[in-house]
Amino acid sequence: MRFSLVLALAVTVVSTSLAELPAGWSTNFNATLADAKTNHRPALVFFTASWCGPCKMMVRTTFTNEAMIKALGGFSYVAVDIDEQAPLARVHEITAVPTFKVLTSEGDAVTSTSGFQSPEVFVAWLTNAATDFTTAVARREEANRKLAEADALLQKGDDASVSSSVAVLFDLCAQREGEVTQTAITKLTALSQRQAAMLLAGMEHPRLSARIQAANLLRAKLGDSFDADPWADASTRQKFVAQWREKLAGGKP
């Protein structure tokens, strides 16, 4: 009898320590991303906690609203208890609950919002988020097309084609398109080991993020003597690039 009472109390403690969830919501993050990919739609993540009063209020009001339920039809959705899934919360840099994030099926963030949301406000946010998702997908598809273009140019192997490929890859670095950008950086890193001079063009890119990437890659290959300043004005950078082209053409590190 005493054991049964202790067990019942233990079950009660466990059950009250879990976050209150909206009806029908998944708690499996990876499965939700897979569902989003299969159905070509965004994933909505609700970061919550058992101790979060505004979260509970939204579950009981906002998430029972008919307009809200209808708006969710265009999403795959998952609730994440930040205490139960702390590593996942850290990856997504969650510092407050409730926080809502719309992700692509690859897990890249599209948009986010935090705090209590009334049904009207949240439905409007979801509508805008769906539009942002469509834009993000189109941008990703274009980035993948450019990456394929860069690959084709690299395979040709002649200087003109390689130079054109480098320009495309630095454009992708500037766009910061998640895995596509990382792939572009990997290709530029490999190229820096064979044809470092080709990456000097990155120092003249109009976007600072691309110039920083170029400077980092070239410094890793050429050493600290490559003291490029990505923030310098265009004229100064042009002179610097010309000097290094001459050095590398003469076989000087």
Other Cβ atoms closer than 10 A to 20: 17
Angle formed by the axes of helices 159-175 and 208-222, nearest 10°: 120
In whole angstroms, give the CA distance from residue 187 to residue 61.
50
Q: For residue 98, is the peptide bond before it cis, meaning its omega torsion is within 30 degrees of 0?
A: yes
Active-site residue identified among 19, 33, 55, 110? 55
**Could you say which DSSP state residue 77 is in?**
E
Residue 52 catalytic? Answer: yes
Closest CA to 43 of 136, 116, 120: 136
Closest CA to 39 of 82, 73, 81, 90: 73
From start to end of 132-235, where are the E strands?
none
Q: How many angstroms separate the most distant Cα atoms in the chain? A: 89
Active-site residue identified among 36, 43, 45, 52? 52
The residues that are catalytic are 52, 55
